[in-house]
Structure 1
Amino acid sequence: MLIPKNMLLSRLRSRAFPGKALRFYSLLNNLRSASTLANASHGVKSPPKPKASYVQRLIVVSAVAAAGYAVDEYYYESLVQRSVRALYVLLWIAYEYTRNIDSYESIDDLHEIAAEKLFSMLETNRGLYIKQGQAIANQGSVFPVAFQRRFVTLYDAAPKDSWQLIDRILKRQLGKNYEKEVFEYIEHNPVASALIAQVHKARLKNTSTDVAVKVQHPYIEKQIGVDLMVYRFMSWVYSKAFDLPLSFFTKYVADQLEKEADFRIENSNAKQLASLLAHDPAMNGMDIYVPNNFDKYSGRQVLVTEWIDGISLTDKQRLINSKMDISKIMKQYITVFGRQMFEYGFVHSDPHPGNLLVRLYKGKQQLVILDHGLYVALPRKFRMEYCEIWKSLFNFNTDAVERISQEWGIGSTDLLTAVVQLRPPKDADINKSRSSYELIKSFLGDESRFPLQLLFVLRTMRMIQNLNQSMGSPVNRINIFTKSAIQLLSNDPWTHRSLRDWFLLIQLRVSLFFSDLVFWTFRLRQILTGDRYGGKGEGMEDYIEKYMRDTAKSLGIEIVDGM
């Protein structure tokens, strides 16, 4: 039996809306029925339901969009806009390289367009996106020339916030009346600015102590969580799209970046390095200094530290004009980082020249290390193996290097030796037939065994090489690091040394001696040709760099000037 529509609706409503609700719907239906009958008896048609006009809809949508934009812009530091922008560009790049590459006349055309889109996005998003771009620039040779040329300019992208924004953070950390109660004065214009923070000079109240007040950019705190989430997601997408093991180190890198944004960790890092240097007999007389921090005024977003008047290593000409000993500077620099890597297992992983000052203190030339936000801890097992590689490379002990390569899950022993010492691979002729893509896959053979600390160690090593080269290669970088490695192995109480080991140690020292002869041959030629401080490309690091460029070119990898 068919049930009339009205009766069916009535039954459904009686089940869904019992009691008072049922009586309300019954009354409503009776009124509708009466109205319908009245209209029918008078020949009156029911008026059509009003429809919202297109203009009304447009106004509502626009208002909602404007409100959403305002909330995102002023309360959430553009989190949604930045994330959508990043996801669009990064997904577009992945699609073009994997699904639409045939639509371009040449791969270079795609490189140019992709590099421009990515560069524009990073520059617009600022913050940690710029830091990721700098990481690309630092490892530029892995990327096409179009990326290298653009991304090297990101090192100059340091934003400055207004005093009004900085003042809010300082009031939250130091109290509303901090300008009167904490400082005698504080300069409202920053003396320096970087991606995560900017620095203001000040003087503590009732003292003659000048301090550097490092204040985090206000948007970093809100942006960092979402930015790193996007970074993790896109690493996963790219690892799938390009069949490269990229995502396995994503969490490790993200964790390090998150620590860098917490100034309490930076405060702790600075104190730990200062303590290690103070208790290391090998560093006596090396004149390395870490500025003191003021815990009372420091927190997660603010760090107050001792003010140091010195010359930045970015200003080579001023160092020369001030009669500073460039060779001593570089020896101090490389020695202290050698101790960090091989002895302390606690490595400052952002050793670019802007984080280093030189000053005369009590008549002695002193190297000052700044910005302790990014450190990497190296387990003893990793340090011993890393030292073993350096020693084995000079002893031509390929078996030891091969063994460590396998333990680290690295498929190419020759590439490992190249990236450790930053020299060209010996087996370049064999590798000529292999693409850079194949070389990367070969290097990251088994990601489950790959020591993630190696990523930051290699980054640090590359920065050290660049600075030594820019200063004219005044010291033998490879020898200084190798001697630090030997010292750790020689002092290790767990290492059993046979007669053969002592023979290998003598052989190693002979190799170091001849390495120094080669270095001084280059150095003497520099001095005679007027290239003491670099610029003419006559130093040992210049030779190594040129050799690496030629080797890279034979492998299909282009390295542009300035990288």
Structure 2
Amino acid sequence: MLRHPASRSARCLGSAARPALRSPNLPWSSTNPRSLLSPRSLTSRRAVHSSQFQPFVPPSPSSLGRARPAKHYPRTSRWARRLLYTSAALGTLYLIDVNLYASSLTRSLRTFSLGLLVAIDYKLNFRASPLCGGTIADLHRRSAERLFDLLRSNGGLYLKIGQAIAMQSAIMPPEFQKMFARMFDDAPQNDWDDVERVIREDFGKSPEEVFGVSFRGEEGKGVMEKVARASASVAQVHWARLPDGREVAIKVQKREIAQQVGWDLWAFK
């Protein structure tokens, strides 16, 4: 079959009219698409990338200069050791005081520090124009609250001092009388475990055996309250009903009083 020469020339012209493919990474003179995938072009691209990244070489010791000695803080270390030793000694002393002497030393130190604070407060503010403001009545009320909290937290014979202050109505300010009147029957109470331990140490028996009571509601036995109805400086009172029907008040001495009396008398002096 014969074709017209014009059709062949038209195809050549059409193919020549198409724009040549150009790569953005190659020079504009490279118009052959096959040259983009040639081994030579790939090798050149690998060479370009390999020249951009160099292996890391650590610096030599000579380039870093002379080594400087580490800084030492002897004064800080010395004070840190002193603080550690002092804390350990105070902690040991506190544990010994709590477990062996019923916090007698702690109570004495607390008393001395608060007494100094109250004395300074009266020295500065017991005047017509107090430095801290307020009136003389405010000073008495503030000091009475401080002493009341101290004596109540210390317990023992310190509560006796509070009761003595409450009875001195002729010489003490009214603020002290009102505050310390609660110390006659509103002192801190001991737990039932301490009460039961005191009874066992004195009688060698349990409270059920000594007083004939039962805490489980057994028939034919009396009853006893584990919570004290009143608590004073050296003892607290528990209500009980004996098996014969009599109602009695059982007064039990507080367990720590025997250990605190000697220290308290020394502190009072």
Q: 1:91-110 to 2 correspondence within 5 Å? A: 91-94=116-119, 96-97=121-122, 101=126, 104=131, 106-110=135-139
Which structure 2 residues correspond to residues 251-270 of structure 1 after superposition, within 5 A?
A: none
Distance change >3 Å, CA 180–CA 129, structure 1 → 2: closer
| Pair 1:82 & 2:107 matched | yes
Report whether the alignment pairs 1:139 with 2:168.
Answer: yes
1:141 touches 1:148 (CA, 8 Å); kept in 2? no
The residue type equivalent to 2:251 in the other structure is K
Query: Which residue number in structure 2 is paired with residue 193 of structure 1?
Result: 230
1:146-205: CA deviation from partner (whole Å, max 9, x where unpaired): 323322333452322112111211111111x4346434325351452321212335577x
Q: Trace 1:66-465 onto structure 2 (pairs within 5 A).
A: 66-94=91-119, 96-97=121-122, 101=126, 104=131, 106-175=135-204, 177-179=205-207, 181-185=209-213, 187=224, 189-195=226-232, 196-201=234-239, 208=244, 210=246, 211-231=248-268, 233=269
The gaps in structure 2 that reach 5 residues or longer are 1-73, 215-223
**TM-score normalised per structure 1:** 0.29
CA offset digits 1:344-398 (Å, max 9, x no partner) = xxxxxxxxxxxxxxxxxxxxxxxxxxxxxxxxxxxxxxxxxxxxxxxxxxxxxxx
Deviations 1:524-546 (A, max 9, x none): xxxxxxxxxxxxxxxxxxxxxxx
Match of 1:57 among 57, 82, 89: 82
User: How far 1:141 sits from its partner (Å)?
Assistant: 4.0
- Alpha-carbon deviation of 1:212? 3.9
CA positional deviation for 1:79: 0.6
How far apart, CA to CA, are the structure 2 residues paired with 1:113 and 1:180? 46
Distance 2:228 2:137 in 1: 41
Counterpart Cα distance in 1 of 2:138 and 2:228: 41
| Inter-partner Cα distance in structure 2 for 1:179 and 1:72 | 30
The CA distance in 2 between the partners of 1:209 and 1:76, in whole Å, is 41
2:166–2:181 CA contact under 8 A, matched in 1: yes
Secondary structure class of the residue paired with 1:213: strand
Larger helix proportion of the pair: 1
Is the CA contact (8 Å cut-off) linking 1:192 and 1:199 kept in structure 2? yes
TM value normalised by structure 2: 0.55
Q: Is the 8 A contact 1:166 1:215 kept in 2?
A: yes
SS of 1:142 mapped into structure 2: coil
One-letter code aligned to 2:252: V
SS at match of 1:143: coil
Classify 1:86/1:96 alpha carbon distance in 2 versus 1 (closer, same or farther; 3 Å): same
Cα 1:110/1:227, change in 2 over 3 Å: same
User: What is residue 19 of structure 2 aligned with on the other side?
Assistant: none
Q: What is the distance in 2 between the residues matched to 1:213 and 1:145?
A: 34
- Amino acid in the other structure paired with 1:120: D
CA gap of 1:137–1:87, structure 2 versus 1, over 3 A, is: same
- Distance change in 2, residues 1:147/1:191 (3 Å): closer
How far apart are 1:65 and its partner, in Å?
1.3
The runs of 5 or more residues in structure 1 that have no matched partner are 1-49, 234-563
Look up the equivalent residue of 2:265 and give its one-letter code.
Answer: L
Summarize the Cα distance change of 1:209–1:182 in structure 2 as closer, same or farther, 3 Å threshold.
Answer: farther
- % identical equivalent positions: 37
Higher radius of gyration, 1 or 2: 2
User: Cα deviation per residue 1:69-110 (whole Å; 9 max; x = unaligned)?
Assistant: 222223222111111111222344345546874563554443
